[in-house]
Amino acid sequence: MIVLRARPLVLMVLALIPLALASLLIGVADLSGAQGGLILSISRWPRTLAVMLTGAALAVAGVVMQELVRNRFVEPGTTGTGEAAALGLLLATLAFPEAGIGTRMIAASLGGLAGTAVFLSLIRHLPPQEVLLIPLTGLIWSGVLGAVVLHIGWQTDLIQLVGIWLMTGEFSGVIAGRYELLWIAGLAAGLALFAADRLAILGLGDGVARGLGLNPEAVMRLGLVIVAVVTAMVMATVGMIPFLGLVVPNIVSRVMGDNLRASLPVTALAGAGLLLTCDIIGRLLIFPYELPVSTVLGVLGAGVFLWLLWRRPGHD
By the rule CB under 8 A, 302 interacts with other proteins? no
Closest CA to 231 of 112, 134, 89: 112
Figure out which of the listed residues 128, 143, 163, 173 binds other proteins, where binding follows CB under 8 A.
128
- Please state the φ and ψ torsions of residue 231, each to the nearest 5 degrees: -65, -45
Peptide bond into 288 cis (omega under 30): yes
Figure out which of the listed residues 136, 204, 300, 308 binds other proteins, where binding follows CB under 8 A.
204
Site for other proteins in 205-244 (CB under 8 A): 205-208, 210-215
Helices (H) and strands (E) in the chain, counts: 14, 0
Query: Which of 199/278 has CB closer to other proteins?
Result: 199
Half-sphere exposure of 33 (CA within 13 A, CB side): 8
Figure out which of the listed residues 15, 45, 70, 251 binds other proteins, where binding follows CB under 8 A.
70
DSSP one-letter code for 124: T
What's the length of the chain?
316
Query: Which of 146/245 has CB closer to other proteins?
Result: 245
By the rule CB under 8 A, 18 interacts with other proteins? no
By the rule CB under 8 A, 200 interacts with other proteins? yes
Query: Which of 163/211 has CB closer to other proteins?
Result: 211
Site for other proteins in 50-69 (CB under 8 A): 67
Query: Which of 100/213 has CB closer to other proteins?
Result: 213
Residues 179, 233 contacting (CB under 8 angstroms): no
**Exposure string for 116-127, b = 16+ CB within 10 A, e = fewer:** bbebbebbeeee
- Which residues in this chain contact other proteins in the complex, by CB under 8 A? 67, 70-72, 128, 197, 200-201, 203-208, 210-215, 253-254, 257-259, 316
